[in-house]
Amino acid sequence: MRLTSLLPAFFAAPSLAALAYKGVDWSSLLVEEKAGRTYKNTAGQVQPLETILKNSGVNTVRQRIWVNPSDGNYNLDYNIKLAKRAQAVGLQIYLDFHYSDTWADPAHQTKPAAWASLSTDALVTQVWKYTNDVMNSFASNGINLALVSIGNEITPGLLWNTGKLSNSDGPKTVSRLLKSASNGIKESNMSPKPKILVHLDNGWKSDTQTWWYDTVLNSGGGFWTDAFDVIAVSCYPFYNSAATLSSLSSSLNIISSKWSKEIMVVETNWPVSCSNPAYAFPSDAKSIPFSSTGQKTWMKEVAKRVSGVSGGRGTGLFYWEPAWIDNAGLGSSCGSNLMVDSSGKAFDSLAVFGQI
């Protein structure tokens, strides 16, 4: 039984150090607008989504970029158009490279079709060229990037099968690919340079995080701690009951201390409806209601764990796709994880970005 009216003292509003990066992934905005969707603030006034986000306290928007998607959605031109709108209202931009023509995640890391037959050496070179070209395109359009992820949830590697971490030479190959991507950013025309992020899933699993960095950094492929700035993680509450807030806090502190890096949670969600979850929710989040109020509570609790990372190294928190109306479940078993209703009207939970 869930408690929807009372929250225990554990979830009393914490005193938080303000996070430097408070954001959402808004990648699907142009797809939604093409389908006729509009957005409204909490008062019901139709406004551009970027205005609603900015007025809610969001300071950074995250955008995924695919190499050559069949329908053009999320390609370079799409991202330039979207980023111009963000920059126009004073939002910072976080670009998330998938290095694929479609979704890249722990179950899918498919090479772009045009790169499929490249040798390992040629693929390493192509990663540099593509990354560098994208950076230079943003720079030539007068768009600054604050943050860039070189791969999306790359725990099992990237650019399969060449860059599959489980291959005998996988760690070294992954290291070479990431070093090439990092160099593509560092050697671009963009100034100032963005912070470079490495993004894995299951941020609450310190053993996985530690194993990955130990394996890749010590592989001899050239990717070392000077090649990136931020350890980025996903942390979702609806895929594993072990994804507790306590485990997240412990994991973030362990990995930040070991590598002296900034830490960000760059993907998370909380449902407003979830009548039949496929997995049990974490024990220390079970009293958080499935509602807009619960979204605010979850975000404040995650922010508390990020801002509490030792040495002040916890710097960012991002909510994944809160306005993707035509995909309300966002890949989970829950009915909706959005921060807007089906008409595009913002929930009160969006205001949490002004409070973390």
Is the separation of the CB atoms in 178 and 227 below 8 Å? yes
Q: Give the relative orientation of helices 292-307 and 245-259 as an angle to the nearest 10 degrees.
A: 30
Active site (annotated) includes residue 321: no
- Which residue, 217, 68, 174, is CA-closest to 130? 68
Secondary structure (DSSP) of 68-123: S-TT-TTSHHHHHHHHHHHHHTT-EEEEEE--SSS--BTTB-BPPGGGTT--HHHH
Active site (annotated) includes residue 32: no
Other CB atoms closer than 10 Å to residue 141's CB: what's the count?
A: 12
Q: Which member of 32, 50, 262, 267 is catalytic?
A: 267
Residue 7 neighbours by CB under 8 Å, 6+ apart: 287, 288, 297
Backbone angles phi, psi at 127, to 5 degrees: -60, -45
Q: Which member of 32, 50, 153, 321 is catalytic?
A: 153
Residues paired with 267 in a beta bridge: 234
Identity of residue 90: G
CA 296/CA 339 separation, integer angstroms: 10
Residue 232 neighbours by CB under 8 Å, 6+ apart: 149, 197, 198, 199, 200, 263, 264, 265, 266, 316
Query: CA triplet 249, 251, 314: central angle to 5 degrees?
Result: 60
Q: What are the CA-CA distances from residue 14 to residues 11, 285, 295 (Å)?
A: 8, 15, 15
Residue 308 C-beta-side C-alpha neighbours within 13 Å: 15
- Which residue, 143, 27, 32, 134, is CA-closest to 92? 143
Query: CA triplet 225, 112, 201: central angle to 5 degrees?
Result: 45
- Retrieve residue 181's tokens: 């991507």
Catalytic residue numbers read 153, 267
